[in-house]
Copies of this chain bind each other. A is one copy, B any other.
Amino acid sequence: MNNPTIRVGIAGVSGYTGKEALSLLLKHPFVRVSYVAANHTQGPIGQIYPEFLYRTTLVCRKFSVADAVKHCDVAFLALPHTESMAVAGKLLKAGVKVIDLSADYRLKNAKVYTQWYGKKHQDARNLANAVYGLPELFKVKIKKAGFIANPGCYPTAAILGLAPLLSTRQDVVSMVIDAKSGVSGAGRKAAVELLQAEVSENFKAYKVLSHQHSPEINQVLSLLSGKVVQAHFVAHLLPINRGILNTMYVQLAKGISLGQVHALYEKFYKVEPFVRVHPLHSQPEVKNVAHTNFCDIGLAVSPDKKMVVVTSAIDNLVKGAAGQAVQNMNLMCGLNETEGLL
């Protein structure tokens, strides 16, 4: 093959998302990881994360825009929310392709951003330039993009699970997204409520009807269905490391059979390499997508045909973050979409 080597940098490599990106990119045949940085952690990667011992000589630096510009064709920003918007614009201006894995550029409306993330947006004019990086829905735009807002983990699972049904523009009476995520979704931060002794053998709902991923989900679902959608979203914390399973309940005004809805989903995702619609009467499980970029989908319909239950499973760190970012990078750089991901 004749692919050039892409120089990729990762800002925020000390978090779980950044680490997952590093892990994927080190195995990518057309990538050289040329720069890794973080704000609060420095040193050889093999010391920070001994799983990389003797596998890379990369050294994590304090993040600097100038260094990133010098070393990178593409920058993965795996920074905490509200930190990406301080640097993304500068990198773009200097000609670096940017994939932002934070939430900073996902919401198109700066006011809505402030309402949910508690800070004024510092780079609002670039909101319109960020392409929402869900390849199964926006592939054409992504291929031409220089700037990607990589979707959130819950939204990825929710939107992929609901898109085929909502795109039929049926009348929806009520829509519920009951979402469950493993703890790595909360990031690598010292917090009592994320301790093993608090999380294991436990389960709880949190931010009930008030999770910051709600507006992101509603924004995209509204676009797809051609009208304002207000899904009822409840997040739960699973005592597992990685993985999301969303169970979604769509109460329809007019019924649809299981056969119809299954055919609809199979057709919708026919050419997509990373979405697997399960055979009839078979359900996705988190373990089947763990450490992969797949989104697995299951379907069921009530006897009166008016309640459609869609389940979708992803690995929150891969398809819900770093894997999707690599998929976006592949598309942006003219590579095969699945490169480094199968």
Interchain CB contact under 8 A, A283 and B204 = yes
Question: Given the complex, which residues of B lie within 8 Å of A180, measured CB to CB?
Answer: 180, 203, 236
| CB pair B276 A249 closer than 8 Å | no
Q: Is the CB of A245 within 8 A of B287?
A: no
Interface: A335 (CB within 8 A): no
Question: Can you list 6 residue pairs at the A/B interface with Cβ under 8 Å?
Answer: A188-B192, A194-B197, A200-B201, A202-B243, A204-B286, A208-B309
Residues of B within 8 A of A27 (CB): 342
Given A50-B278, A51-B289, A196-B200, 11 more A-B residue pairs with CB atoms under 8 Å apart are A53-B276, A183-B196, A200-B241, A201-B241, A201-B242, A201-B290, A209-B307, A210-B300, A230-B304, A234-B300, A251-B251
Min distance, Cβ A11 to any Cβ of chain B, angstroms: 19
Which A residues between 27 and 58 are near B, CB-CB below 8 angstroms? 27, 49-51, 53-55
A286–B201 contact, CB under 8 A? Answer: yes
Partner of A240, one of B182, B239, B291: B239
Q: Interface code A209-227, partner B: CB below 8 Å = 1, 0 otherwise?
A: 1100000000000000000
Chain B residues near A242 (CB-CB < 8 A): 201
Indicate how many identical chains form the complex.
Answer: 4
Q: How far is the CA of A238 from the CA of B285 in the complex (A)?
A: 11
Is there an interface contact between B234 and A247, defined as CB atoms closer than 8 Å?
yes
Does A202 lie within 8 Å of B240, measured CB to CB? yes
* A14 to B224 alpha-carbon distance, docked (Å): 42
Tell me which residues across on chain B come within 8 A of A285, comparing CB atoms: 50, 202-204
In the complex, the answer to whether A234 meets B309 with C-beta atoms within 8 Å is yes
Least CB distance from A95 to B in Å reads 33
Contact flag A249-B247 (CB < 8 Å), given A196-B241, A288-B53: no
**Given the complex of chains A and B, what is the CA–CA distance between A182 and B178 in angstroms?**
17
Q: Which of B174, B183, B241, B288 is A50 in contact with, Cβ under 8 Å? A: B288
Q: Is A206 interfacial (CB-CB < 8 Å)?
A: yes
Residue numbers in B under 8 Å from A147 (CB-CB): none
Residue of B51, B240, B283 near A287 (CB, 8 A) is: B51
How far apart sit A87 and B29, CA to CA, in the bound complex (Å)? 40
Q: How far is the CA of A204 from the CA of B313 in the complex (A)?
A: 9
The chain B residue with its CB closest to the CB of A53 is B276
* A196 contact from B50, B199, B251, B307, Cβ within 8 A: B199
Contact (Cβ within 8 A) B178 A238: no
The chain B residue with its CB closest to the CB of A240 is B201
Q: Tell me if A298 counts as interface (CB < 8 A to partner B).
A: yes
